[in-house]
Amino acid sequence: MNIRDLEYFKNLVEQKNFSKVAAKFKVSQPTITTAIKRLENEFNAKLFIRDRRHNTIEATASGVQLFKHCQTILNELSIAQQELHNITHQKLVLGLPPIIENHYFTQVCSKLAQLNLLKSLTTVEGGSVSLTDSLRKGQLDLSLLGSINPINYTDLTATETDRQPFCIYVSKNIS
């Protein structure tokens, strides 16, 4: 199976247009058609219903099912590529929200220095939601995150390192 075929397939489900997918990948329209035929043969299932009279295309039930898996497969491949890139370039990418960076990074920094990892450390600043998304996409190796509730994601490993009281301050003049 060809990974590029899966990329063409995913984009065809999303775009619903052979010409647009071909243009995006800078290939001919027959290249996309051939890739879809290869996938249909590989899975022994029709993946699209083409209505030439109305010039529309829709994924079949099999196509929808493959699309779900295809998204996961392509995402996992992207994560693997990013992780292997980080290993070969000996980079550790750490995500830090601004407040946590100011308060906790010095503590983390001393531990990283003991492990001789500071020279290979790259930091990325962002909010907890965007950093969590980056972790899931494999763009970060680890991140310090703040949360009011315990962090419980099935696809991430979370370890609580500290717990602090949380206060919100407002002006007396707010009605």
**Could you read off the pLDDT of 51-79 as tens digits, one per residue?**
888 888 999 999 999 999 999 999 889 88
pLDDT in tens, 77-106: 988 887 777 666 677 788 888 877 777 777
At 46 the pLDDT is 97
At 8 the pLDDT is 96
| Total residue length of the chain | 175
At 108 the pLDDT is 74
User: Considering the entire predicted model, what is its pTM?
Assistant: 0.55
Q: Which two tokens stand for residue 170?
A: 């407002």
DSSP per position, 124-139: EE--HHHHHHHHHTTS
